[in-house]
């Protein structure tokens, strides 16, 4: 079965600690994305990557870092510099057809709570 | 600066009737529009899309209408079913410029028995 996996589903951390959220896809998609969702808000783009070893900042990249060492993996690190890290984090992937993005497929999400 | 706006945070519709969810956008560069459905504590799932060269796309009970001159699109669900209760996100992309999809804030649809 092809899909996107995010683990864990729930994550708890103390303030001041870095935490890494995993995202793996076996859809053979070129592009991968990280979003965060807050109550009453849409999905806001944190980082995205269209190719291995390359990634771009989204609209709210401050306090986050990513890596793309393998096509199927795009982990997100929430650093202690992120002022409001408690949120629901969603990873997505998509095909690039003739350089254009079409539908994005989402993982189940990780709810991060920092206290 | 919200480029994709869903002005109704919630909508309640009787089961069996038509649900109409609305979305407005401001960026005239957008050329591809999508609707996603999201249940609580799950990732969104793609529902239906439409290219700017069309004004209507239909898939079963779901139809998306695009009015480019008004920069408005709508999702029609008919007939509405209990399993349609979810949050619906409108999204848009300017595929000739970059590969980002901009999401609206979502509309929570309640299907009433």
Nearest Cβ partner for B43 among A31, A102, A109? A109
Q: What is the pLDDT of residue A100?
A: 55
- pLDDT exceeds cutoff 70 at B31: yes
B23 with B106: CB under 8 angstroms?
Answer: no
Beta-carbon separation of A104 and B101 below 8 A: yes
For the stretch A46-59, pLDDT in tens is 999 989 999 999 99
Q: Does A61 touch chain B (CB under 8 A)?
A: no
Contacts of B9 in chain A (CB under 8 A): 40
Tell me which long-range contacts A20-24 makes (C-beta under 8 A, separation of at least 24).
Answer: A20/A75, A20/A76, A20/A77, A20/A78, A21/A75, A21/A76, A21/A77, A21/A78, A21/A89, A21/A91, A21/A110, A21/A112, A22/A73, A22/A75, A23/A73, A23/A74, A23/A75, A23/A76, A23/A91, A23/A107, A24/A72, A24/A73
Q: Please state the rounded mean pLDDT for residues A69-98.
A: 91
Q: Is B17 on the interface with A (CB under 8 A)?
A: no
- B96 or A19: whose pLDDT is higher? A19
- Touching check for B101 and chain A: CB below 8 Å? yes
pLDDT tens digits, A29-39? 989 999 999 98
Report whether pLDDT(B98) > 90: no
Please report residues of A whose CB lies closer than 8 A to that of B88: none
Q: Does residue A99 carry a pLDDT above 70?
A: no
pLDDT number for residue A85: 93
Q: Which residues in chain B have Cβ-Cβ distances shorter than 8 Å to A50?
A: 99
Query: Which residues make Cβ contacts (< 8 Å) with residue A6, sequence separation at least 6?
Result: A21, A22, A23, A89, A90, A91, A107, A108, A109, A110, B43
A10 touches chain B (CB under 8 A): no
């Amino acid at each position: 079965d092809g899909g996107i996996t995010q683990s864990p589903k729930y994550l708890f951390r103390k303030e001041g600690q870095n935490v890494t959220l995993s995202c793996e896809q076996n859809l053979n998609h070129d592009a991968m994305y990280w979003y965060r969702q807050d109550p009453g808000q849409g999905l806001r783009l944190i980082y995205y990557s269209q190719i291995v070893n390359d990634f771009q900042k989204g609209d709210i990249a401050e306090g986050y870092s990513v890596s793309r060492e393998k096509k199927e993996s795009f982990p997100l690190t929430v650093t202690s510099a992120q002022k409001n890290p408690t949120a629901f984090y969603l990873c997505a992937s998509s095909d690039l057809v003739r350089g254009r993005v079409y539908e994005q497929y989402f993982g189940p999400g990780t709810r991060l709570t920092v206290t | 600066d919200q480029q994709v706006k869903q002005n109704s945070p919630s909508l309640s519709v009787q089961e069996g009737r038509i649900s109409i969810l609305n979305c407005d956008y401001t960026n005239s560069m957008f050329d591809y529009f999508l609707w996603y459905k999201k249940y609580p504590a799950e990732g969104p799932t793609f529902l239906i899309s439409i290219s700017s060269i069309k004004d209507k796309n239909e898939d079963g009970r779901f139809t998306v209408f695009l009015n480019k001159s008004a920069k408005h699109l709508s999702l029609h669900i008919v007939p509405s079913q209990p399993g349609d209760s979810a949050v619906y996100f409108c999204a848009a992309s300017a595929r000739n410029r970059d590969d980002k999809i901009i999401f609206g804030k979502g509309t929570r649809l309640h299907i009433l028995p």
